[in-house]
Amino acid sequence: MMIGRQKIRGALLATAIWSAVASAPALAAEARNFSIRQQSLADALRAVAMQSGTNIIFDERTVAGRRAPRLDGRFTPEQAVRQLLQGTEINARLDSEGAILVSEGRSAPEALASGEDAAEEIVVTGSRIARAATESNVPVTAVSRLDIEASGSVELSEILLDYPGVTSGINIANSRDEISSAGLSTIDLRNLGDNRTLILIDGRRTVSNSVTANRVSTSTIPTFFIERTDIVTGGASAVYGSDAIAGVVNIITLEKYDGVKLGIRYGTSITGGGGDEDFRASILAGKSFLDDRASIIIGATYEKEYGLMAYDRDRALTSISYNPATNTTTSPAKSTTIFGGRFRGNAFFYDETGLKTGFVGARDGYETRDVLPISVPRTSRMIAGKFNFAFSDAINFFSQVQFSDVDTWSNRDFATVTNSTTFGQTDEFTVGTIARTNPFVPTAIATGAPASGITFSRRLKELGERVTSNDRDTLRAWAGFKGNLGGGWSWEASYGYGKFTQHQERQNLINLERLKFALAAERDPANPAQIRCINAQARADGCVPVNLFGVNSMSAAAADYIRTTMVTDGTVRQDVVQAFATGPLFNLPGGPLRMALGAEYRTDKQSLRTDEVTRRGVGSASFVPEFDGKIKAKEAFIEFDAPILSNVPFADSLSFDAAFRIADYSVDGVGTVFSYKAGGEWAPVRGLRFRGQYARAQRSPDLTELFSPPRDDADTVVDICDGVTATTQGVAATNCRAIPAIAAAIAANGSFEQETTSIQGPNSGNPDLKEETADTITFGAVLTPTVIPGFSLTVDYFNIKIKDAIDALDNPDILRECYLDPDNFPNNAYCGEITRDGDGQLTRILNRQFNLNSIKRSGIDVAANYVFMAPQWLSSDGQFSARILYSRLLKSELEYEGRDGTRVNNFKGEIGDWVNQGNASISYADGPFYVRWTTNYTGKALDSRDRRDDAIAAGITNPLYLYLGDRWRHDAYVSMEPEAIKGFKLYAGIRNLFNSISPFLPDGTVNGDPLNFSGDYDVAGRSFYAGIEFKF
């Protein structure tokens, strides 16, 4: 079954197609014993399908909110279904393929007697053409409501990470240092980037939740409103338009609900120092009225994730750093920027007892770790609603609204400054040294100081801890009409609106322009006891001199003068108008040739505004530029589904489908583009089906990639010059020593040491970008053997090549292209993107967007499912369900033009590009009792292939923290719905039962950080959760 939105006339909407295509007619007529517990009608129908191996097609909306009675006895599958439907207005019938079709309204015989077509619309992902009782020709993974609940996570992107092919985009653990994206939760298919995964809600586009890229944060979508989520991998631009390069994630929301449901959930870590608590409360209510012509559903939820602090985990407080050049560690690894200040290099410093000489970092430095977050706290308030009204059998109105308010905040260590700190929009200004004549300079420090002034490094405790807060509001709304045209044709026309706003405040920062004025101090000639700022205009504007010499030496007035809050306000808006029609053209030997055609008009626009301090670049945090952008797209599409043969020798079924889309963008480098796909299925016999597809997909550059001026971001980068000595061999070391400040540091200290791996990594748009184009091939087989009812196995191969890929080179690549150049250093283009301060410290690497040569990914996906009844000695009602998902990565490469030709970066086996990933689960249901065990596997990995190559070149035989072991995470879930308390449900679970967490990756590794974690793994460890639900 696949995802998409389609329509067909009649009385059948099918979003659930249950396996055992093999021998369906025979199985549908064969009586067998059934033992099915009392449960929801949807789950009961699935149980019949699994126990009998029969396809049962029904619309989730038709059965939503309904309960099925217990079923015991010997029936044919059709009789069993009719038993479950007794007392409802829902009917069932067999189709020509032996599938059981479940629909609302009159029975099929009644409809046929009146001359009406018995089919209605169905929803199939990946296509707009309805396909009764067929399956998609590309892989799809369906994540059910029960899967979501049993996962133990409160947020959808975290839940989907357990499925092969899904990697972590942005999450609350790996985004804590990011400026605009901290606290987002995004989905990244095939590790190709979250902006290459198209997120749909009920088959429709939705507005981005980021001002720095086109990405949807699933934390803005209430999980209580989700019916299921379908994951389709592979290019889908021909059906859905731009961005569907890696695939589509279609979030299907509840369509109908009768009654009220209240839910409360609490979770907490039960390992280490605890923490990582979360709480959720939700309410859902719905009602059908006017003889079911109208329905309304509305819900609200409140979620609070308390985050995880460094002091919650001993590992995070381990003070250590790693130098890959020498394969050595330093412990403790403290910051050399301290509260009292360090002056004239390491000659003088202050601690709580006063002025000292001979600073030693391991002894006198400052420990930053205890105030850092491992994951960012987040609070979410969400409300969603739907209203549908049928004017007649031929025309229906539908509407949906979702609103979310998501707040994140985090405390950081105190702001820092050195004499070489730069500021301004292009770092055109420097704070500068302190004059020897400054009245605050102690005699001991002034004596012997050079005329150029006193160098310094200071952590400004007087300003208070830095705090970053983000308030993100998202409004999404869709409304439209759909109906029947006659002759099996249906149509839909809709308007979608989305608006995202982000208000960010970065508090307790330094106004560096004011600090520069405040450090230039003198005694007032009219009152020598009074110290004043030298600049007259600055004095008129309220300048207060700053004394940096000593712990808490700065006056409160001076702190107030230089303290600032940097504010950013961003807005993203999307408007989409689309219309399409679908229906049969004529009959082929295998069935009717069906077609869908339609058009879409879309506008995306964005604006970014900042306060004056940010706009002028004089704040101590990252510079964020103001900009505006707008993209318009006009698109038309057509799709065909051709069942060529059916029920003939060597072709139980043979079908072909194709789709074409033409799109015109208001982007100079893009213009008009064409997307297309073609695929087919062939079942030589029942129970064995081969499938394949070729697709061409495009992605237009987004607003930020096109229009953004350079905007600062915080990156963790290991300096290629770190650890270089006077005798270090190699081109890079020679070029490092050619930098005067680095040479001076080596002469003074014996080696050049990087003070911090946290630098500015500004990203810059490029108005000359053109679209990127992906060619995707998938082919595989589906096995549903008749001798094992309820069992299915799929094996699929995928190959994705993205040409003209829009991307920026990684910071290590830029450093390598610059410093490994034996001929043109420092004059090649890559060196121009790198900035160092007066001490030689790496401060900035500009990340420009370009159309690189290509990105390539290929691999194999395997999925096996088996549902079977428990043996009689265990239970007469019990039912087991087992699933195994596995993904094998064969290739992951980035190709670009380097300084001396084409370069290929091989990422296969690195973190995020694991060669092996898998997920297995087994569940058991018996009456009101349900239990599930899930195991998630992440294979061995490398911290970095570049690190490995460097280690080999340097003769390092056992590089530390490079080769990382595999990870097994085990989760357990149990729920109970006691029959004595109608509508009551209690559930609980343990996530990561055996406490399998991130490998130990200290600062200095590529994927690690100062807290020794990688956010691509579990960082919290074993956790417990429990919840209750009331339905009435």
Q: Is residue 887 part of a domain?
A: no
What pLDDT score was predicted for residue 135? 54
Which of 400, 133, 92 is CA-nearest to residue 255?
400
Q: Which of 92-101, 153-162, 724-733 has the lowest mean pLDDT?
A: 92-101
**Displacement of CA 180 from its chain's centroid (Å):** 14
* One-letter amino acid for residue 334 of the chain: K
Alpha-carbon span 293 to 397, nearest angstrom: 10
Task: Report, as an integer, the average pLDDT of 837-842.
Answer: 89
Give the pLDDT confidence score for residue 108 in this predicted structure: 33
Q: Shortest CA distance to 406 belongs to which of 564, 588, 175, 246? A: 175
Contact 80, 48 (CB under 8 A): yes
- At 170 the pLDDT is 87
Q: Mean pLDDT throughout 74-90?
A: 79
Q: In this structure, which amino acid lies at residue 1016?
A: D
How many separate domains does the chain show?
Answer: 2
Residue 20 has pLDDT above 60, yes or no: no
Task: Please write the tens of the pLDDT for every residue from 933-983.
Answer: 999 999 999 999 999 998 998 899 999 999 999 999 999 999 999 988 988
- pLDDT the model gives residue 111: 32
pLDDT of residue 46: 81
Name the pTM for this structure: 0.83
| Domain final residue, candidates 848, 878, 903 | 848
Per-residue confidence at 21, pLDDT binned at 50, 70, 90?
A: very low
What pLDDT is recorded for position 157? 86
C-alpha span between 251 and 199 (Å, rounded):
8
Tell me the per-residue pLDDT of 589-633, one tens digit each, with 9 for 90 and over: 998 999 999 999 999 999 999 999 999 999 998 888 899 999 999
- The answer to whether residue 540 sits within a structural domain is yes
Domain range for 836: 702-769+809-848
Q: What is the pLDDT of residue 1?
A: 32
Q: Which of 848, 869, 896 is the last residue of a domain?
A: 848
What is the DSSP-derived secondary structure letter of residue 302?
E
Does residue 1022 sit within a domain? no
Q: Are the beta carbons of 590 and 645 closer than 8 angstroms?
A: yes
Q: E strands within 181-277?
A: 187-189, 197-201, 204-205, 226-233, 247-253, 259-269
Phi-psi map region of 134: left, alpha, beta (phi>0 left; psi -120 to 50 alpha): beta
pLDDT of residue 67: 76
Residue 626 lies in a domain: no
What's residue 95's pLDDT? 57
Instruction: Considering only residues 1002 and 41, tell me which one the structure prediction assigns the higher pLDDT.
Output: 1002
pLDDT at 442 over 60: yes
Q: Which residue has the higher pLDDT, 712 or 12?
A: 712
Q: Contact 218/230 with Cβ under 8 angstroms?
A: no
> Is residue 455 domain-resident?
yes
In this prediction, residue 98 carries a pLDDT of 59
Ranges 347-351, 650-654, 939-943: which has the least confidence: 650-654
Phi, psi of 111, rounded to the nearest 5 degrees = -65, -45
Choose the weakest-confidence range: 52-61, 358-367, 689-698, 1022-1031: 52-61
Give the number of residues written for the chain. Answer: 1032
Q: How confident is the model at residue 804 (pLDDT cuts 50, 70, 90)?
A: very high
pLDDT of 18 strictly over 70: no
Q: Kindly state the percentage of the chain with pLDDT values over 70.
A: 92
Percent of the chain with pLDDT over 90: 62
In a domain, 14, yes or no: no
Q: What is the mean pLDDT of the chain?
A: 87
Q: Residue 452: pLDDT band by 50, 70, 90 thresholds?
A: very high
pLDDT band of residue 44 (cuts 50, 70, 90) is confident
- pLDDT value of position 288: 93
pLDDT exceeds 60 at position 444: yes
Most confident of 53-67, 166-180, 836-850: 836-850
Task: Please compute the mean of the pLDDT values over residues 92-119 and round it to a whole number.
Answer: 50
Quick one: pLDDT band at residue 117, thresholds 50, 70, 90? very low
The lowest-confidence range among 40-54, 194-208, 281-295, 476-490 is 40-54
Cα–Cα distance for residue pair 765/709, rounded to 1 Å: 6
Region of poorest pLDDT, from 146-155, 203-212, 296-305, 831-840: 146-155
Mean pLDDT to the nearest integer, 119-123: 38
| Per-residue model confidence (pLDDT) at position 134 | 37
Mean pLDDT of the 572-588 span: 95
pLDDT band at 1014 (very low <50, low <70, confident <90, very high): very high
What is the reported pLDDT for 578?
96
Lowest mean pLDDT among 48-62, 142-156, 679-693, 998-1012: 48-62
- Tell me the CA distances in angstroms from 209 to 151, 474, 570, one per residue in order: 24, 7, 10
- State residue 61's pLDDT score: 64
Cα–Cα distance, 869 to 47 (Å, whole number): 10
Taking 80 as the threshold, does the pLDDT of residue 29 lie above it? no
Return the pLDDT at 761: 80
The helices-and-strands tally (H runs, E runs) of the chain is 19, 59
Q: For tokens 């980021």, what's the residue? A: 210
Q: Is residue 817 part of a domain?
A: yes
Cβ contacts of 849 within 8 Å, gap of 6 or more: 701, 705, 763, 764, 765, 766, 769, 806, 807, 808
Q: What is the per-residue pLDDT for 808?
A: 85
Instruction: Identify which has the larger pLDDT, 416 or 829.
Output: 416
CA 907 to mean position of chain CA atoms: 19
Task: Give the integer Cα–Cα distance in Å for 434 and 422.
Answer: 15
Residue 47's pLDDT band, with cuts at 50, 70 and 90, is confident
Distance CA 265, CA 280 (A): 5
What pLDDT sits at residue 715? Answer: 78
User: Residue 1023 has which token pair?
Assistant: 């956790």
Of 848, 874, 903, the residue at which a domain comes to its end is: 848
Q: How far apart, in Å, are the Cα atoms of 69 and each of 35, 306, 562, 924?
A: 11, 41, 71, 19
| Residue 984 in domain | no
Helical H runs in 32-155? 41-52, 60-63, 77-85, 108-113, 145-150
DSSP conformational letter for 310 = G
On the question of pLDDT at 148 being above 60, the answer is yes
| Angstrom distance (rounded) from CA 825 to CA 835 | 14
CA separation, residue 283 to residues 261, 300, 384, 525, 1031 (Å): 6, 5, 11, 71, 10
